[in-house]
């Protein structure tokens, strides 16, 4: 299989690419990978690490919204995993359309759009199933929702064998320090205070990136076209509890935490119902949160040369 991975030098993308090229994902053994990434703040070629010079990897610097470039790449591939996310919502939607157009034109056999649980907005109780209405509250989430709707439209109109994956909050190594867990960890490691937005009562379920890469592989190889699959986490906790766990990991106390004003809009709670991927594809999270958090903190402690320039 020849797989095109957009955003493959980012956090989730680089984990997925490394796992494919290390033949750790069933169904993708021996696959060749092309990474398309424009290397903005989240994308870093060094994230590809030990597979950066693998003979089965091609790296193309560029923007997924560049229709001519995207078309030239798509025609050489059997499958696409679309992970690229842009801070500009319009660019994000245009990038998805450019990919979908080319995938339809050249008869791509598998297309996976990687969305986000935030497309459902805040959930007061229970958890969001794949049938829940989309209610994004940020431009980023709205762009993800737009890409999702385009993906489903290309399936329904053109028969494109496309699926959507909506993961919850994901953590692990190689995640940019503008995200909550690496932001807190790197600031504490640097001797600064960690920011706690508001009273810390907002709640998230947390998914280790290893478990997300497994979910992506399952959906890519065995997912039903036209379906959406939520990928939930192994635990749901508040940001205050998360902060306590991080302080404990680092042997620090609450005097190293600074309360700062929250920035609206802010979803109070995200929670995903992932029964479908469990029942249809046999996926389960394997990484317990305590163990995953420990390895993540240790990675940032051991790799200051990676995060200090950021």
Q: Within its chain, how far is the Cα of 84 from the centroid?
A: 9
Q: Cβ of 260: how many Cβ atoms within 10 Å?
A: 11
Per the CB < 8 A criterion, the answer to whether 285 and 231 are in contact is: no
Residues 6+ apart with CB under 8 A from 214: 25, 283, 286
Cα dihedral: 135, 141, 145, 150 (round 10): 160
Q: What pLDDT does 41 receive?
A: 77
For CA atoms 16, 28, 95, 71, give the dihedral sign: positive
Q: Phi then psi for 278, rounded to 5 degrees?
A: -70, -45
* Distance separating alpha carbons of residues 43 and 47, to the nearest angstrom: 8
Over the stretch 141-169, which tens digit does the pLDDT of each residue have?
Answer: 999 999 999 999 999 999 999 999 999 99
H/E element, 207: strand 203-208
Q: What pLDDT does 62 receive?
A: 95
Edge to edge, the sheet with strand 203-208 lists 169-171, 203-208, 235-238
Over the stretch 85-139, which tens digit does the pLDDT of each residue have?
Answer: 877 788 889 999 999 999 999 999 999 999 999 999 999 999 999 999 999 999 9
H/E element, 146: helix 139-158
Q: Which residue from 288, 234, 239 is spatially nearest to 259, judged by alpha carbons?
A: 239
**Regions of the chain with pLDDT less than 70:** 265
Per the CB < 8 A criterion, the answer to whether 36 and 64 are in contact is: yes
How far CA 296 is from CA of 18, 51, 159, 170, 232, in Å, comes to 17, 20, 41, 12, 19
Burial of 187: CB neighbours in 10 Å, binned 0-12, 13-18, 19+ = middle
Bridge partners, residue 171, by sequence: 208
Place of tokens 């620090």: 252
Common-topology check for domains 2-169+208-231 and 176-205+235-265+288-307: no
* Residue 199, both tokens: 């009273």
Edge to edge, the sheet with strand 57-61 lists 57-61, 32-37, 2-6, 79-82, 110-114, 162-167, 228-231
* Distance separating alpha carbons of residues 131 and 129, to the nearest angstrom: 5
Name the 3-class secondary structure at 170: strand
Tell me, yes or no, if the pTM score tops 0.85: yes
* Residue 273, both tokens: 């119902």
Q: Is domain 2-169+208-231 classified as CATH 3.40.50.720?
A: yes
Domain ranges of the chain: 2-169+208-231, 176-205+235-265+288-307
CATH number of 176-205+235-265+288-307: 3.90.25.10
């Amino acid at each position: 299989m020849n797989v095109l991975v957009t955003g493959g030098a980012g956090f989730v993308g680089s984990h997925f690419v490394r796992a494919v090229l290390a033949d750790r994902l069933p169904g993708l053994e021996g696959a060749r990978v092309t990474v398309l990434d424009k290397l903005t703040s989240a994308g870093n070629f060094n994230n590809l690490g030990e597979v950066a010079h693998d003979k089965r990897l091609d790296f193309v610097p560029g923007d997924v919204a560049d229709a001519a470039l995207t078309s030239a790449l798509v025609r050489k591939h059997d499958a696409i995993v679309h992970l690229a996310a842009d801070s500009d919502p319009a660019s994000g939607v245009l990038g998805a359309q450019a990919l979908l157009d080319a995938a339809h034109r050249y008869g791509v056999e598998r297309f996976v759009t990687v969305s986000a649980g935030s497309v459902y907005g805040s959930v007061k109780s229970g958890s969001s199933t794949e049938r829940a209405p989309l209610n994004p509250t940020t431009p980023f989430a709205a762009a993800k929702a737009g890409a999702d709707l385009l993906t489903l439209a290309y399936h329904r109109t053109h028969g494109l064998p496309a699926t959507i994956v909506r993961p919850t909050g994901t953590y692990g190594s190689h995640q940019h320090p503008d995200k909550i867990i690496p932001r807190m960890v790197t600031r504490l490691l640097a001797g600064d205070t960690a920011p706690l937005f508001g009273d810390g009562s907002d709640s998230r379920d947390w998914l280790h990136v290893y478990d997300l890469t497994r979910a992506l592989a399952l959906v890519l190889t065995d997912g039903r076209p036209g379906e959406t699959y939520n990928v939930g986490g192994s635990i749901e906790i508040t940001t205050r509890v998360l902060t306590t766990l991080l302080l404990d990991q680092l042997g620090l106390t609450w005097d190293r935490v600074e309360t700062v004003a929250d920035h609206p809009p802010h979803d109070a709670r995200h929670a995903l119902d992932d029964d479908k991927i469990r029942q249809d594809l046999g996926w389960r999270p394997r990484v317990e949160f305590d163990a995953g958090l420990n390895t993540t903190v240790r990675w940032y402690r051991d790799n200051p040369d990676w995060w200090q320039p950021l």
